[in-house]
Amino acid sequence: MRPPPPISSRLLLISLASLLFAGGAAPQEPSPALKQADTAYREGLAALNQNDLQTAQSKFEDVVRLAPSLEQGHSALGAVLVREGRLEPGIRELEKALALKPGDGSAELNLALAFSQAGAQTKAALLFERAEAAANAQKHPLPASVLEEYARVLLAIGKPVAAAARMREAAAQDPRNAELRDQLGALYAQQQDWPRAEEAFSEAIRLKPEFAIAHLHLGFVLQAEEKSGAAAEWIKAWKIAPQDPHVAFTAGKALADAGQDDQAVPILEDAVKLDPTDTAAAYQLALSLQRVNRLPEAIQLLRNVVAKDANNSEALINLGLALSQVHQGKDAVPFLQRAISLKPDNATAHQNLAAAYVQINQVDDAIVELKAALKLAPESPQIHYDLGVAYKLQDDPTAAIPELETAERLDPDAYEPHYVLGLMYMQVARYSDAAAQLEASLKLHPDNGDGWATLGSVYNKLDRLPEAVSALREASRQLPDQADAHLTLAAVLVKQNQPAEAAEERKLAANLMRAHMDLQRAEVATNSGKSALANGKIDEAIAQFREAVSFDPKYAEAHLGLADALEKQGKTSEAASERSQGRSLAGSTH
């Protein structure tokens, strides 16, 4: 709760006893009770001036008990109770004061502040309006602190323009108050009056350069205006207040929402360290880590979030997705099933569960989930595409093709539906349609060696031989270690009556296949060597590693394994040579 505003400075400081003689009445000796009330009232005011609210409350309670018919005691007691946060009894006392003396400005103002704190904004607005009218009649403004609260009340009852006007008055009264400028900027921002909001936040920062919240707010305004510098303001806020978890969370989330996860991660990590109990910060950090491919860390955070909040469907969905991303589909399934039980109308949950099912070869279950997702999001191109791929995995082109065609129609700029649809058309011998789809896919995404190889094969079927040659040569350029494109190209060259060129392609294919076979043999021998070394069979391990090197002298793992084995045999010089060679080969592959 926001701290209550200060008690109105308009509480009267005169003696209660003197009030009895107003209106020209003949002076009379005050009663003992009234004398005691007067003394208690003065002592209460003295305690109030020392900010001793407990003593002030006690003294004003004495006043009310001794002189219950005098408005000032109820008014003072009510104001103190409100200041202490005891709103209900405070309001009762202030209402008693106004019943005894209708129109008492001090009581009305304090009651307005109390209603504001209690959430009775409509009642507060009426009293503030009356207080403002009285102040205008007397040609003196309401205090800045009162105007500030009045502005909040007006905003709460849906009058943002009037609220901004009152906050402007408050800021004009206190031109060095950066907090008032920040609140004024927030009111302008709620009205989407971005230029005025930017001006107010900038002025707040000029008055108080280390004002972290104002920097946060200015960043959001710059973002809304599509101006540069938003991220710099958020980062500056974090650096100004490095121990404030709220600032860290707000800045980090803003950066993440703006697509700057790399910058968001360290700030969100700070937010989690500063407040380990904040599941919102942990969840936001997990999402950013997931997007920057730090999946193990993201998974652990998401597990912690769902352990604390088992009904957080969004966290369950993202945990299931993250587990699928690290090929742990079996572990992902129960989390996604729980998310669907909580939010059965969440299409993404069904879609992610389908992906997990595909990972564990439960394609039928995946299709059920994708159909459920389509009922919720029938115009989603991604879901139609996923369903088409699932049918493809079942070798069902009749069902796959319509889904892929729908995906392509809904999102013609996505290359994947074109590509898979081309494969399906090829499977059912619709070669012209296949060529058109593959061409569209490769135009959108030319870095697809397999796509060029497939297109070359389709062109060959259509006897579009020059185009087949071009496509297959591009496939060979992108996939220099694969033999298939060379073999298909050789067949095309034979059709073009180019036997010498065809023979050269077949030779290249044979060399690649031999190299691939040698690599496989080297991998097998290396794994055997590692197993022997782990079991202490050093001589056998060395033999296996040397055999692996003979199969493929460029296989780094074989050299590194041999180095380890030689080192255990005491041959340090030879081991160093093998290790150096292995590291060099490993580096050349990255």
What would the pLDDT profile of 56-95 be if each residue is shown by its tens digit? 999 999 999 999 998 889 989 998 998 898 999 999 999 9
Split at pLDDT 50, 70, 90, the class of 24 is very low
DSSP string of 343-397?
-TT-HHHHHHHHHHHHHTT-HHHHHHHHHHHHHH-TT-HHHHHHHHHHHHHTT-H
H or E, element range at 440? helix 431-444
Residue 29's pLDDT is 62
Q: How far apart are CA 519 and CA 553, in angstroms?
A: 9
User: What are the residue ranges spanned by the domains of the chain?
Assistant: 521-590
Note the pLDDT of residue 17. Answer: 38
Report d(CA 472, CA 502) in Å as an integer. Answer: 13
Can you give the pLDDT at residue 33? 86
For the cut 70, the answer to whether the pLDDT of residue 43 exceeds it is yes
Q: Is the Cβ–Cβ distance between 180 and 148 less than 8 Å?
A: yes
pLDDT of residue 499: 92
- Mean pLDDT across 163-183: 94
Q: What is the tens place of the pLDDT at every residue in 520-562?
A: 898 898 999 999 989 999 999 889 989 988 888 988 998 998 9
Do 288 and 302 contact (CB within 8 A), yes or no? Answer: no
CA distances in angstroms from 314 to 87, 257, 264, 323, 371, listed in the order given: 39, 16, 20, 14, 21
20 — pLDDT class (breaks 50, 70, 90):
very low
Lowest mean pLDDT among 10-24, 251-265, 358-372, 373-387: 10-24
| Of the candidate ranges 17-31, 230-244, 432-446, the one whose mean pLDDT is the lowest | 17-31
Mean pLDDT of the region 338-356: 97
pLDDT computed for residue 26 by the predictor:
42
- pLDDT (mean) for 325-353: 96
Q: What is the pLDDT of residue 495?
A: 94
Give me the CATH code for the 521-590 domain, please: 1.25.40.10
Q: CB 207: neighbour CB atoms within 10 A?
A: 17
CB 485 within 8 A of CB 472: yes
Segment 501-524, tens digit of pLDDT: 999 999 998 988 888 888 889 889
For residue 22, pLDDT beyond 70: no
Confidence label for 589 from pLDDT (cuts 50, 70 and 90): low
Token representation of residue 579: 């290790």
Residue 282 has pLDDT above 50, yes or no: yes
Measured between alpha carbons, how far is 319 from 290 in angstroms, rounded to an integer? 9
Q: Which amino acid is at 486?
A: H
Q: In the prediction, which pLDDT does 28 show?
A: 53
8 A C-beta contact, residue 581 and residue 561: no
**What's the pLDDT score for residue 588?**
61
Could you tell me the pLDDT band of residue 242, with boundaries at 50, 70 and 90?
A: very high
- Residue 481 above 90 pLDDT? no
Three-class DSSP category at 312: coil
- Confidence at residue 12, expressed as pLDDT on a 0 to 100 scale: 35
Integer Cα distance of 440 and 446 in angstroms: 10
Q: What is the residue type of 310?
A: A
Flag whether pLDDT at 217 surpasses 80.
yes
pLDDT at res. 511: 86
Which of 237-246, 412-421, 579-588 has the weakest average pLDDT? 579-588
pLDDT in tens, 483-507: 999 999 999 999 999 999 999 999 9
- pLDDT for position 136: 85
Give percent above pLDDT 70 in the chain: 94
Rounded mean pLDDT of 278-302?
A: 96
Average pLDDT over the chain, rounded to an integer: 90
- Interior angle at CA 103, CA 25 and CA 97, nearest 5: 75
pLDDT winner (highest mean) among 96-100, 114-118, 416-420: 416-420
Q: What pLDDT shows up at residue 3?
A: 40
CB 304 within 8 A of CB 328: no
What is the residue whose two structure tokens read 């103002």? Answer: 109
